[in-house]
């Protein structure tokens, strides 16, 4: 159909389209939201997130650093500066596999945990290559009191946080399993680490990682709101000697709850938010 045969009709259609477009722009400019958006906003307002990190100090948190006693914050590895929880190594001459974890006081079963983190600066001398821009959120973990003095990682499910190296693809919110296993697509996963489908985050920008934990049923990893990994049936790995001891004490190898901790693995990392939404009553 040639439009120049129907100039008046075409003009009317054009005006109608323009009118609809103007209305759409007006709706967005005025901030008018849809009923669904309003429901999401109401839901978010009703959610009561607990601030595990209060922005002032490490109240409620206890360090356990390898080769040191529980509570010994060797070389001031963990500290709070300018409202940010920092993991730093200025007091280290060399790393020497002195892996550390900062444990929260309570254990949890059904919850969502959300952190805002970023990697900064350079890795400390002696840090392993794989630990470049590497940290993590340990969930369903053992209590720090059950760790030996020279133990490197708590038996737990690790939500591995990785930063890009400036060139290569490197996903974050991956899964690692020190002393544990999980089930994915009805298959027991014995590999130590499984990558998520997240994009790579180079530089020192803040990233939001969130984990939904529902006991032994399901665990989901999110990055900046996007689902990037899902699995279920977390459990102690009976091939691991320390995990065997934990199984004997618990009387069951399936994991439905546990400790939460943040890692120090030789690269400076900062957390400006650590918060939790309790789902136990939902």
Chain segment 143-180, per-residue pLDDT in tens: 999 999 999 999 999 999 999 999 999 999 999 999 99
**Whole domain around residue 248: which residue ranges?**
50-278
Q: Output the six-digit token pair for 112.
A: 């969502």
Give the pLDDT band (50/70/90) at residue 281.
confident
The pLDDT value given to residue 50:
97
Q: Residue 38: what pLDDT? A: 52
| pLDDT tens digits along 211-220 | 999 999 999 9
My answer on whether 9 and 147 are in the same domain is no
192 and 269 in a single domain? The answer is yes
- Asked if residue 42 belongs to a domain, the reply is no
Residues 6+ apart with CB under 8 A from 205: 118
Split into its structural domains, the chain has a count of 2
**145 and 180 co-located in one domain:** yes
How many CA atoms lie less than 13 Å away from 131 in the CB half-sphere?
A: 20
Q: Which residue has the tokens 């946080």?
A: 161
pLDDT value at 44 more than 60 = no
Instruction: Round to the nearest angstrom and report the end-to-end CA distance of the chain.
Output: 59
Question: pTM of the predicted model, to two decimals?
Answer: 0.84
Same domain, 17 and 114: no
Which residues lie closer than 8 Å to 127 by C-beta, 6 or more apart? Answer: 95, 265, 266, 267
Q: Is the pLDDT of residue 130 over 80?
A: yes
- Given strand 134-141, what is the order of strands in its sheet? 61-65, 100-104, 259-264, 134-141, 157-162, 174-176, 193-194
Contacts of 111 (CB under 8 A, 6+ apart): 213, 276, 277, 278, 279, 280
- Indicate whether 113 belongs to any domain: yes
């Amino acid at each position: 159909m040639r439009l120049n045969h129907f100039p008046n009709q075409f003009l009317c259609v054009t005006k109608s389209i323009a009118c609809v477009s103007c209305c759409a722009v007006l709706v967005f400019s005025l901030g008018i939201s849809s009923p669904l958006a309003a429901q999401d906003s109401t839901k978010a307002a009703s959610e009561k997130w607990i601030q595990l990190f209060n922005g002032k100090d490490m109240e409620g948190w206890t360090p356990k650093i390898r080769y040191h006693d529980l509570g010994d914050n060797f070389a001031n590895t963990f500290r709070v500066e300018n409202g940010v929880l920092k993991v730093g190594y200025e007091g280290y001459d060399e790393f020497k596999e002195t892996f550390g974890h900062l444990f929260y006081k309570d254990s949890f079963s059904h919850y969502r945990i959300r952190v805002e983190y970023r990697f900064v600066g350079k890795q400390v001398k002696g840090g392993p290559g794989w630990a470049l821009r590497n940290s993590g959120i340990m969930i369903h973990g053992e209590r720090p009191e059950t760790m030996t003095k020279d133990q490197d990682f708590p038996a737990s499910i690790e939500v591995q946080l990785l930063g890009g190296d400036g060139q290569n693809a490197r996903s974050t919110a991956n899964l690692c399993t020190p002393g544990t296993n999980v089930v994915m697509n009805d298959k027991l996963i014995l590999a130590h680490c499984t990558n998520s489908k997240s994009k790579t985050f180079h530089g020192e920008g803040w990233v939001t990682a969130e984990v939904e934990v529902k006991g032994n049923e399901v665990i989901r990893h999110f990055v900046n709101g996007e689902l990037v990994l899902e699995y279920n049936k977390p459990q102690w790995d009976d091939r691991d000697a320390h995990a065997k001891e934990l199984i004997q004490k618990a009387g069951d190898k399936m994991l439905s709850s546990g400790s939460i901790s943040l890692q120090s693995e030789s690269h400076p990392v900062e957390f400006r938010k650590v918060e939790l939404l309790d789902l136990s009553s939902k």
